[in-house]
Every structure is written in structure tokens, then in C-alpha cells.
Amino acid sequence: MAINYPIVGIPCDINRSGINASHGVGEKYINAIAHGSRVCPILIPAQGPGEDLESMDENMFVGSLLNKLDGLFLAGSPSNIMPDLYGDEASLTPNDHDSQRDSMSLLLIKAAFKRKMPILAVCRGMQEVNVALGGTLHQRVQDVEGLNDHREDKHLPREEQYGDSHTVQLRATGELIKLVDTETIRVNSLHGQGIKQLAEGLVTEAHASDDLVEAFRLNDDDHFVWAVQWHPEWQFKTNIFSSALFASFGNSVRTFAQKKASKIDA
């Protein structure tokens, strides 16, 4: 009997090679969603505001996409969110932005939020969810008094960059702590931006030793919106917490898909 896998959309980054731009998502994210959550991932081009797309109705475009999706996954990226999107001053990292991903991801998040579609977000994705819902960011965490440097050493091999670098404290009364039998976990850390103020409706699920928010969720038991600042997709199969996180997302996506199908059948 054929299995109909729920479909999870993953917004792309814009990558430039020479004079050409391409849309893409890191393979490790796709693997974690496909094999960890056991759903069907599809990549969503970062259409707006892109080249020659001035006539496109972005809201209609996003609505058409979400009609075909059962979940949304926001991956990490080397780029930073434009500070004008959360009311901040001029950019402190002007060469590290991806305005097309900003535009598409924020539209998708807001529209998926209204539909109570499951959302899982990682690193930049976590920051996107916070900004989309009205929160703010530190542009450069390492320059904020009292906060640590959460960036990776780019001179190290990939395995070491993504290796565990610090401990996070899970909220004792939260949901993430239910995934593991411990109050603290070791995580990797590869980010320059970070949460400054959480959006209304979000609750902290984990924080670092400097009190920087490392995970949050939507304070709504009927709507799965979870986000982590680290990279659980890295070696997710061998990490108990990461495996449980992606499995939980997959379960929520399947529940959403079943409810959507039952409404159509009715």
C-alpha cells in the first residue's frame, strides 16, 4: 500500500556564484526533515522581492504554496536578517544579508501561523519566527555587554565547527525538557545574531549561561511552533535530543495533515 507522506516546505537561501544567483538549502537540513521527521521536504524558492517579480502578488503566491503544505521548516543560513525588519538601526553586517529570503520567510511564517500549521525553526529560522511575530534581535551578540561570543571558529574543520560548544539550561516546566531525561544539554553554536526581545506569545524553553535565549515555543498547546538557536540537524540520528525534536515535529505535521484531509473529505 502506498504511503502518502505529509509535505513540509523549506524556504531557500539565495546563493551567488559569479554573476548568477541560485536558490538552495543545505543538504543536512533536508536529510533531517526527510529521515528524522519522516515527511516529504520540498524547497521553496525565495521569490520576493526577486528579479523580475514586481508584478507577482506575494500573498497569493504564499497562499497557493501553503494550500499544498502540511508544515514549515526554517533552516539556518550564513546570512543575517535585515535590521529594518525589526525596527533596529542601520545594519552592522551590511554584506551578510539575504533580502529575498527575509521577504519570503516572513510572509510564510505569518501565513502559516494564521493556519496553525506546524513550524520548526533552527538558528536563522528561529530569529525569523521571532521577527515575524514582532520580536527583536541583537545584530552582533558578541558585541553586547554581558553576552558571550556564540560564533564558530571558521578555521576549524566542519566536524569541529558543528561540535558541542556549550551547555543550555532547559526550562523545568517547558516542553523541550520532556524530550530528554535531563535539565541541561550540550549544543553547538554557530550564530552572530541572537534574540533580544521575544515576540508576544512566545515562551523561553532554554537559555545559555549568559541568559541568551536558546530555544522558544509558542504558548499554545494546540499549535506546534518550536525553535532552537543551535543546529540539531547535525548528526541528528546519534543525538537523543535532536532525534526526539525532529520526530515530534513529524508527529505534529502528520496530525495537521490528517485534520486537513478530514475537512476536505467532509
Among candidate residues 23, 123, 191, 205, the one labeled active-site is 123
Instruction: Name the helix (H) or strand (E) containing 111.
Output: helix 99-114
Q: Is 97 assigned a catalytic role?
A: no
Burial annotation 188-222 (CB, 10 A radius, 16+ → b, else e): bbbbbbbbbebbebbbbbbbbeeebbbbbbbeeee
Dihedral, 27, 32, 34, 37 alpha carbons, nearest 10: -160
Q: Is 231 assigned a catalytic role?
A: yes
Q: Is 159 assigned a catalytic role?
A: no
Among candidate residues 23, 138, 150, 231, the one labeled active-site is 231
- Taken in order 32, 37, 40, 44, the sign of the CA dihedral is negative
Scan for cell 524547497, then name that residue.
43
Going by C-alpha positions, the residue among 82, 76, 75, 122 that lies closest to residue 98 is 82
Catalytic residues: 123, 231, 233
